[in-house]
Amino acid sequence: MLTGCYVMQAATGQAAVIHRSEPIASVVANPSTPQRTRERLLLVEHAREFAINELALPDGRSYRKYADLGRPNVVHNVVATPEFSVEPRSWCFPIAGCISYRGYFNESSARSYALRLAMKGDDVSVDGVPTYSTLGHLPDPVFGPMLSWRDTRLVGTIFHELAHERLYLAGDSALNEAFASVVEDEGVRRWLQQVGRASEIAGYDAAIARQKEFASLLLDTRARLARLYATKLAPEAMRIEKQREFGRLLYRYEVMRRDRWQGYAAYDAWFARSLNNAHLASVATYEGCVPGLQRLLRDSGSALPEFYARVEATRGMAVKERRAALCQ
């Protein structure tokens, strides 16, 4: 019954998105549309054309429409792990396969479900998501809050979500997200070059480098916790050591922020909460396979169609076999 309720809220939420969506061309042509909105939607159209023509991404129904739902996040994702494990729980659905989160259009529903999991002893996180992909099964729109993003984030998100439509391997969240992230980063660099903004590539690369250092720090803590949990200490002793690891993580971040990033504070909000295994699981889902796929892209001569084909060739593999081939 709970699964039925979950599917129903997803269907209802998606129906609301479709109902609120209108063609970008109509919004741009409407004289009452603010000039800033019109300019951002024209950028979306340009990014979509670039994705199709230069990145060999699919020309489907997505990002032809605009939807302003009047809220900063479209869905909220719930991630959960056992108290003494870094491996996220998974939920299995038709089409998408097994994924390491549950998405809710209503924030209170997400937090209610997270509370139920926490009361059973799980570590949980609830994070707002400003956009998502239905893998081309439905016409995904551009959402209102996206228009306030900087150019590289907006354009990169279009590339990222269309990459999901280009390739999606059911039951392998880490590979799917890493693949889309690699396509996004490569696409943004190529886009900046084409539109005459090559001088901004260095700044973009610096931001990506910080992102990777942040992810590396979290992945290292996740590995340390995995080793700790394998020791099978008594629960009370395990909890103490667990908190020490999270305290060490915060200290290492503060040192990196001060010494390597010269006070760059964009990640402070991420650390300004009580961290647990579930927060680290989310980062592992998005970042764990990225270095291996970046190497594969280089080995493909930076030719995206060949890169896509080499990842696609692993479709018949078991998840562990695929990870060994692509993510190491």
What is the pLDDT, as a whole number, of residue 1? 46
Q: Which of 3-7, 52-56, 203-207, 254-258 has the lowest mean pLDDT?
A: 3-7
Residue 80 lies in a domain: no
The tens digit of pLDDT for each residue in 310-324 reads: 999 999 999 999 999
The whole domain housing 9 covers 2-74+130-196+289-326
The answer to whether residue 84 is domain-embedded is no
**How far is Cα 197 from Cα 148, in angstroms, rounded to an integer?**
20
Looking at residue 312, its amino acid is E
Counting residues of the chain whose pLDDT is more than 70, the rounded percentage is 98
Closest CA to 158 of 27, 276, 37, 62: 62
Mean pLDDT over each residue of the chain, to the nearest integer: 93
Is 306 inside any structural domain? yes
User: ∠ CA(53), CA(150), CA(111), 5° rounding?
Assistant: 105
Q: What is the pLDDT of residue 51?
A: 98
Q: In sequence order, what are the beta bridge partners of 76?
A: 104, 128
* Mean pLDDT (whole number) for 214-242: 96
Beta strands in the chain (DSSP E): 22-23, 65-67, 75-81, 91-93, 97-99, 102-104, 123-129, 142-143
- On the question of pLDDT at 287 being above 90, the answer is no
Structural domain total, the chain: 1
Q: In Å, how far from its chain's centre is CA 101?
A: 11
Would residue 158 count as lying in a domain?
yes
Q: Does some domain include residue 203?
A: no
pLDDT at 5: 80
Q: What's the CA gap between 261 and 278, in Å, rounded?
A: 26
Domain assignment present for residue 11? The answer is yes
**Ramachandran class of 97: left when φ > 0, alpha when ψ lies in -120 to 50, beta otherwise:** left
| Residue that the structure tokens 């919004």 belong to | 27
- The predicted-structure confidence for 163-199, as pLDDT tens digits, reads as follows 999 999 988 888 999 999 999 999 999 999 999 999 9
Residues for the chain: how many in total?
328
| Within a domain: 299 | yes
Contacts with 186 (C-beta within 8 Å, 6 or more apart), sequence order: 55, 297, 302, 304
**104 vs 95, which has greater pLDDT?**
104
Strand partners, 81: 123
Classify residue 73 by burial, with Cβ atoms within 10 Å: 0-12, 13-18, 19+: middle
Query: DSSP per residue over 208-223, as a string?
Result: HHHHHHHHHHHHHHHH
Please answer whether residues 43 and 154 qualify as being in contact, where contact means their C-beta atoms are separated by less than 8 angstroms.
yes
**pLDDT classification of 54: cutoffs 50, 70, 90:** very high
Band of the pLDDT at 3, cuts 50, 70, 90?
Answer: low
